[in-house]
Structure 1
Amino acid sequence: MSTPGSTPPPSVADQPHPLPLANGHPISGATADAAAQWLTLLMSDEMTDSDYQCWQQWRAAHPDHERAWQHIEAMTARFRELPSTAAYKSLSPLTNPVSAGKPGSPGRRKAMGTLLWLGTAGVGSMLVSRTQTWQQTVADYRTGTGEQRAVYLADGTHIMLNTYSAIDVAFDAQHRTIRLITGDILITTHPVHTPISDPRPFIVETAEGRIRALGTRFTVSQRKGRTHVAVLEHAVEVTPAAPDRQYILPAGQQLSFTRHTLNNATTLDKQTTGWTQGQIIADNIRLGDFITDLGRYRTGLLRCDPAVAELRLSGVFPLDDTDRILETLPSVLPVRVRLRTRYWVIVEAAS
């Protein structure tokens, strides 16, 4: 591969426009681009041992390189689902009005498409584009990586948020609405037509449609253009955004839907709701899928080598110690767990 950032970083004096900042220190745009490119490579599962050595050499070549990397790694650890170039863009709180319309590096253009940071000199105010990440940041209730949170609403509804989840709550005289921005929630409402029930409809909205509670206990998951619903008690009414079709989903069943399609309901399985008990329940699932799920509960990058992704795994794994889960894998599968950095872990074939 061509080594990112192989040319020496220009000095601050050489730069005609405001420079990106890493931990309060100005760095060159080329260094910021290189840090983003390295992170993109790390996240691609294509990094070789040779690339790894080049990456370490790049970090050691100049103090600005290490400063930029520490900044972008911290941003990625905090906002796991941000594209790497969005973390790059966080290096620069000011968008240069002179250069904004000029062609830039691919990393810079991609970053600009992800987050738009606008600064006003003198007051330092900042506006962010209304991306999902921004919506998560300003959500009424949210959780970080590995965190779960219980929320009690004024009407008596109980909501549990899983790791890296976010919701907005909007109650008015006619409706009770929960907007699930991302992640997983478990909702427990009062049964309808009881003295303590609230007559206003209780609705969960996602990007793909809406779910109306019919006096129930149910989970909703939303990510990657799909909503998944599982009903533990009573029933819900599911309505995708585009087609004029509704479906009553009873207790003990689950289904998923997009804006345009509604999949057939299936019997509820424990793997779907294991997180509500603080567990990952694996029943003969692909190791690759297991690692992807586990990665949602860990800060940093957790990857599964494609060579072992098809191995099958079963068991119940408590989520209070993800390091211990990783430590147990070599005892049940022919794999090893390699820690390349604090935030970069790879599960690969045992040597």
Structure 2
Amino acid sequence: MLCEPVSRAAISEAVEEQAAEWLTLLMSDEAGEQERAAWQRWRALDPEHERAWQHIEAVTQRLHGLHRGAAAQALSSTGAPANRKRRQLLLWLGVVGGTGLLAAQTDAWQGARSLRADYRTATGEQREVALHDGSVVTLNTGSAMNVRFDGQRRLIELLAGEILVVSGHGAGSNAPLVVATREGLVRALGTRFSVRQDAGKSTVDVFESAVEVRPHDSAGAPLQLAAGRSVSFSRVHADAPHALDAYADAWSRGQMIVDDVTLGEFIAELSRYRPGILHCAPEVAQLRLSGVFPLADTQRILNMLPNSLPVQVRSRTRYWVTLEAVQ
């Protein structure tokens, strides 16, 4: 299946920051007529500025009912430049809620980019993308990537989630195929492999041939990872490679296959495919299970668990579910 990115005019990161700075100022008590006139001149100066402002106005509809002074204080209070930038980008994301609380996420900047990615999937969604060189990329739940191909390099930038890559041999395939994560670069050596982006680490599983793994801040030689091996790495170094889980790519077939894992581990993984909160109570977290489960219906999976384990499923709402001991 050939999928094309949504057509839209790009907005640079610098202009995104400028728009966020203007909104922070306008929400504060410091903006007078002079500042408002300067803001209007900035909007008129470049069509990209106006597009950025239209976007930020759209997401700030979620600020309805929030006191302007409280919002400005949350967004522009004094602090380190990095913290100020982060608050501005949280605003770009539209994560200020109507209660006046700032739902701060540690990866807010990457989250903003994920919303504007070339290809992305929602929670519980999977998608296959055929690229121009014949490569096929499958995006797992809650994933996002950008694709940048030129004569020197075929670059896939993984912004969030997980992808399975089958490298192609069509036009332009002589250029290196590289997957970039926050922690480093994964170069394909004619292969089938997956890359997963987690908080503070990336994980690579190799199913065929081999890849090279190079953490961003490592001065050493890249790690060559052969088929049947898996490794996680930070920006500084790679962990010791280990044998690949036999069912590591089951998700690409719409399945979750587990063999003697704890219920806590199982629920943590299942929660990636289901919106809302899915919690496992500590008293049942060490129960163990095995099985093959269809990812297309997470509610069916939850309904099956009491048939094999002494647990009950308590649903406070559709989006807040807890696994707990049978009373």
TM-score normalised according to structure 2 size: 0.70
2:111 pairs with 1:133: yes
Give the corresponding residue for 1:150: 128
Give the corresponding residue for 1:38: none
The code of the aligned residue for 2:195 comes to V
CA contact (8 A) 2:93 2:111 kept: no
Query: Which of 190, 195, 201 pairs up with 1:226?
Result: 201
Query: Which of 139, 151, 154 pairs up with 1:161?
Result: 139
Q: Which runs of 5+ in 1 are unaligned?
A: 1-16, 19-87, 120-128
Give the corresponding residue for 2:234: 258
Question: CA–CA distance in 2 between the matches of 1:93 and 1:163?
Answer: 30
- RMSD of the TM alignment (CA)? 3.1
For each residue in 1:265-293, what CA deviation from the matched residue of structure 2 results, as whole angstroms up to 9, or x when unmatched?
Answer: 11111242221121111111111111111
Within a 5 Å distance, the mapping from 1:200-279 to structure 2 comes to 200-245=175-220, 246-279=222-255
Q: Structure 1 residues 199 and 334, CA, compared in 2 at 3 Å: closer, same or farther?
A: same
The code of the aligned residue for 1:281 comes to I
Question: CA–CA distance in 2 between the matches of 1:179 and 1:283?
Answer: 32
State the identity as a percent. Answer: 46
CA contact (8 A) 1:147 1:163 kept: yes
Shift of 1:196: 6.7
Shift of 1:93: 6.2
3-state SS of the aligned residue for 1:91?
helix
For each residue in 1:23-61, what CA deviation from the matched residue of structure 2 results, as whole angstroms up to 9, or x when unmatched?
Answer: xxxxxxxxxxxxxxxxxxxxxxxxxxxxxxxxxxxxxxx
Question: CA–CA distance in 1 between the matches of 2:315 and 2:205?
Answer: 36
Shift of 1:298: 1.1
3-state SS of the aligned residue for 2:290?
strand
Query: Which of 299, 304, 309 pairs up with 2:285?
Result: 309
Give the corresponding residue for 1:92: 63
Q: Structure 1 residues 317 and 219, CA, compared in 2 at 3 Å: closer, same or farther?
A: same
For each residue in 1:227-274, what CA deviation from the matched residue of structure 2 results, as whole angstroms up to 9, or x when unmatched?
Answer: 111111111001011112311111111111111121111111124222
Question: CA–CA distance in 2 between the matches of 1:262 and 1:132?
Answer: 22
Give the corresponding residue for 2:90: 115
Question: CA–CA distance in 2 between the matches of 1:303 and 1:99?
Answer: 32
The code of the aligned residue for 1:284 comes to D
3-state SS of the aligned residue for 2:91?
coil
Question: CA–CA distance in 2 between the matches of 1:237 and 1:181?
Answer: 19
TM-score normalised according to structure 1 size: 0.65
Q: Structure 1 residues 118 and 307, CA, compared in 2 at 3 Å: closer, same or farther?
A: closer
